[in-house]
Structure 1
């Protein structure tokens, strides 16, 4: 299962240098909405590398990431508003954790699940929409958190850009280079995910 997810993620990441901002926007939006197997954070890391290398327009890339994440979050909030009672009846441990965090932290919980406790992000959107938080408070916390997430991951990805020319001497295919970088980052994320109580 993990191998299948990794292969799918690699395929999506490999499309970024070719398809640019449309594939970036759709991946980030759907990942924020909670669609499984989509490498939202890894896609932003690679986008940061490409933007710093001049392969993508930096400002447009940053705005694309931020807006796509916000749209996905708002859709999740709307789903919670529309189907809250049905979702509340589900015995889902992720939903339960998100609800507990929201009850104890309020809007701060939304802010933290954008970047620090990101695995709870999609569930937090739904729980907040189901009645735990007003939409204006959710929007403000969501925006603040997504600014931290998008700028942080873009900056981290950009930090790899100075090494591209040296590494490219060993590999002439920038797509393969970025895929290798993404695989290494994915391995780190998977290891962190499988630690007890670790963040996404």
Structure 2
């Protein structure tokens, strides 16, 4: 599937990068990390311009996050009811609601890059919870800057080994997510221990 998206980037360039970044922030299952790696690789080859790849991916990701946030504002309870028929997505949304309730802006920041699979659900949950738009936007913008620049830069630097890099980063993403979850759980346990 990754190769399919590489071919799309080769054919459609910035349009695919923009659509991928936008829709992945709305929980559409698109391998956006692979698309950004491909964008970086095509920039290294001279087929795309690096600053344009970064800018398009960044602005599109921010737009997707803002859309998700606003959808959460408009229909958080509707979304909860709709997800009842989809247990895996409902579980992700419940985790996102819990993260936003406990950690607020920290959840927003880390969900954009360190725990990216939870990101779209955090957008919905933050909007539904009435989290402030300005703090959401600031923390989201900082996190997306890390996510976009890291993946595009890796694609640019390791353009000749893109397939191997995509596989490695998929594995690394799972490890990074597990480490972040363990750290957050550890902090929660320490706080709980201090209260007692």
TM-score (norm 2): 0.79
2:27 match: 34
How far did 1:24 drift? 1.1
Residues 59 and 30 of structure 1: is their aligned pair in 2 closer, same or farther, counting only changes over 3 Å?
same
2:170 match: 189
2:87 match: none
Provide the C-alpha distance between the structure 2 equivalents of 1:31 and 1:63, rounded to a whole number of angstroms. Answer: 16
**2:10 pairs with 1:20:** no
1:86 match: 78
Whether the 8 Å contact between 1:32 and 1:72 is mirrored in structure 2 is: yes
Residues 183 and 34 of structure 1: is their aligned pair in 2 closer, same or farther, counting only changes over 3 Å?
farther
SS at match of 1:80: helix
Provide the C-alpha distance between the structure 2 equivalents of 1:149 and 1:127, rounded to a whole number of angstroms. Answer: 20
Whether the 8 Å contact between 2:69 and 2:128 is mirrored in structure 1 is: yes
1:103 match: 101
SS at match of 2:47: coil
2:194 match: none
Report the RMSD for the aligned CA atoms in angstroms.
2.4
Whether the 8 Å contact between 1:10 and 1:183 is mirrored in structure 2 is: no
1:140 to 135, 138, 141: 138
Provide the C-alpha distance between the structure 2 equivalents of 1:147 and 1:64, rounded to a whole number of angstroms. Answer: 12
2:156 to 151, 155, 158: 158
Q: Aligned residues, how many?
A: 174
Provide the C-alpha distance between the structure 2 equivalents of 1:101 and 1:61, rounded to a whole number of angstroms. Answer: 31
2:126 match: 128
1:68 to 31, 54, 60: 60
Provide the C-alpha distance between the structure 2 equivalents of 1:193 and 1:103, rounded to a whole number of angstroms. Answer: 24
